[in-house]
Amino acid sequence: MSDAIKAAVLERLGRIAGPEGGGDIVSLGLVSDVFVSDGRVAFSITVPADQAREMEPLRQAAESAVKSVPGVEKAMVALTAERKPGSPAPQPAPAAAPQRHSHAPAAPQGQRQGGPAKAGVPGVAHIIAVASGKGGVGKSTTTANIALGMKANGLRVGVLDADIYGPSVPRLFGVSGRPEQVEGRILKPLEAHGIKVMSIGFMVEEDTPMIWRGPMVMSALTQMLREVAWGELDALVVDMPPGTGDAQLTMAQQVPLSGAVIVSTPQDLALIDARKGLNMFRRVDVPVLGIVENMSYFVAPDTGKRYDIFGHGGARAEAERLEIPFLGEVPLDMDIRINSDNGTPIVVADPAGPHAAVYRDIAAKVWSEVSRPLGEVRRAAPAIVFD
Ligand code: ADP
């Protein structure tokens, strides 16, 4: 379905002439990867940096062309300008050894066997990615609830929303507004439910298309990672963009991750995507901490009877096959959705309830995987065989 939409989108864009003539915007190579998820289409068009304003009609033409494709509900088209060589780039903070503190006696982030050492974020013991092979599987909901589960388990936690395609942290945590500048370029993270949060959604106006080319993604991410006063954290949980494209790979490569959690629904197709996610982390030498099966089963609210409507258990079987930890299963439940939409994820909305217990348990497993003592070999993601 999304492949057909993508092809139709490219076909329509192929009828739009480039800004300086010489062909259409697709054949001129000005259109980025086209991202399609749940009827949302997102991409960028590269334009000369000094003409960005004059190019607005081109952007609008592309947007309306895409909106006319059947199946497209929302089109997000951004103009991007590649940075010219020599123009100033944001400077990452100087490399510094991560500061250790008493209850996080863990392996230093970014220093894994066989992997290149990446500069850590001072004060942050572990950076943990939450990823999914495709959109809509509940990755952001899981990120928020795992982070809150860790907080409930006594850890100091931050959440970095790096989902450039659809930042959800403002909605999930019920926070908005611009982060305050504390000193120089350093931003103060916002805070909600006792967690420090930073989102790409705080940095741009709502409804502004947020499509980024690789270098822009990295500078925005670097800023959110290194130019934010995170303070002392045991875990910084990163909500990754869905999928396994170049942007995701670059992020997985550039961020000093201690490990990654993969979220999948039980359906076969979603699991194939999850496998791609596993493979991506393997390529960049980031340990996979385990799989969470989301929307695993459904409990009828009136009778309490459990229905495995999606063939629950697929992710557990897959985890066993791939010899990676299975972190837990989260049911499909109205309360999980409603509370997320209200800015109070279920772990804080109903801390004594069964779902909060599931997430706290997953959070504890993630933490025990990530904080294995130095020297103990953590499983690297296994080779993935597509059959
Ligand atoms: P993703 O980040 O993978 O795109 P989201 O976390 O935004 O997915 O979830 C997509 C939708 O599904 C949201 O409306 C969310 O509230 C809902 N959702 C996620 N997990 C569950 C669940 N276990 N039960 C019910 N609804 C869920």
* Residues 167-187: tens digit of each pLDDT: 899 999 999 888 898 888 889
Residue nearest to atom 24 of ligand 1 (CA): 332
pLDDT of residue 310: 67
User: How many angstroms separate the alpha carbon of residue 158 from the centre of ligand 1?
Assistant: 20
| Distance from residue 227's CA to the centre of ligand 1 (Å) | 30
Ligand 1 centroid vs 201 CA: distance in angstroms?
Answer: 18
**pLDDT digit string (tens) for the chain, length 387 residues:** 678 899 999 999 999 998 888 899 999 888 877 777 777 787 778 777 667 667 878 888 999 999 999 999 888 777 766 533 333 333 333 333 333 333 333 334 443 433 445 678 889 999 999 999 888 889 999 999 999 999 999 999 999 998 877 889 999 999 988 889 888 888 999 999 999 999 988 876 655 555 555 566 677 788 888 889 999 999 999 999 888 877 788 778 888 999 999 999 887 667 788 888 888 898 888 999 999 999 888 877 778 778 876 667 788 888 888 889 999 999 988 889 999 889 999 999 999 999 999 999 999 999 999 987 654 545 544 444 444
Q: 176 vs 55, 80, 170, 293, CA distance in Å?
A: 30, 25, 6, 30
Span from the CA of 184 to the centroid of ligand 1 (angstroms) = 37
Q: pLDDT digit string (tens) for 68-89?
A: 999 998 887 777 665 333 333 3
Q: How far is the CA of 333 from the centre of ligand 1 (A)?
A: 10
Euclidean distance between the first and the last CA atom of the chain, given in angstroms as a whole number: 22
User: Which residue's C-alpha comes closest to atom 26 of ligand 1?
Assistant: 337
Name the residue with the closest Cα to ligand 1, atom 27. Answer: 337
Q: Whose CA is nearest to atom 12 of ligand 1?
A: 138
Residues with CB under 6 A from ligand 1: 132, 135-141, 168, 242, 294-295, 330, 332-333, 336-337, 340-341
Pick the residue whose CA is nearest to atom 4 on ligand 1.
136
Put simply, whether the predicted model's pTM sits higher than 0.85 gets the answer: no
Ligand 1 nearest-atom number relative to CA 296: 23
Ligand 1: which residue has its CA nearest to atom 20? 138
Alpha helices in the chain (DSSP H): 2-13, 56-67, 139-152, 169-173, 200-203, 214-226, 246-254, 268-283, 314-322, 334-341, 346-349, 354-370
pLDDT tens by residue, 194-242: 999 999 888 766 555 555 555 666 777 888 888 899 999 999 999 998 8
- Which domains are assigned to the chain? 2-82 (3.30.300.130), 124-370 (3.40.50.300)
Residues present in the chain in total: 387
Q: Which of 199, 187, 120, 119 is nearest to 158 (CA)?
A: 199
